[in-house]
Chain A
């Protein structure tokens, strides 16, 4: 089980602040997780489409496409940050 957290604009467009998911075993990286989520279609395919500015953090650290994800992780998806 992976805990997904959606923040800021992504929370609004996806219509949820988070969920727990059980992706197939072959989903072992951030890139694979995003690809799996895109197969849901609709807002998921649109918001997470390649080229869209989606940032990812795994267990509160900034992640890259090849960052591993595994059961028990918290994976957050969000737009580029705009604080300060």
Chain B
């Protein structure tokens, strides 16, 4: 499966090794890892709860990966996204792309993240000392996705 949604953590080295296992064409692997920060919009974040829409999430992610593969000459791609309760420094999301050369792998990896941020049905809620709040969508994320 090129996309997975899970509550548990992921092992980056293991995921990369599995994605490129035995593929002698691969000359470049680009990876992005998103993490939970301890501060967002000037407030301390104690817990980040991630919710998604089962059924649509996997479909939306698979579509984004397919589009990346059709736009760039890359061999394979993987998206792992966590849901549930996470703490600062925890890993949230992993995107890995394999290709022959770095340029295409970097571009496809960034495209997948930009599209994921604006098209995949995930929502973040932050617990802060002042109470909990839903994270608001950023227009800068829309701008980033519109570049492609």
Contact = CB atoms under 8 A, between A and B. Distances in A.
A84 B92 contact: yes
Interface residues of A, number: 17
Interface string B97-131: 00000000000000001001111111111000000
B137 A82 contact: yes
Interface string A56-79: 010011100000000000001011
B59 interface: yes
Determine the interface band of chain B, counting residues with CB < 8 A from chain A: 20 to 34
B123 A84 contact: no
Contacts of A31: none
B116 A83 contact: yes
B113 to A, nearest CB: 6
Contacts of A79: 123, 134, 137
B84 interface: no
Contacts of B136: 80, 82
A37 B90 CA distance: 39
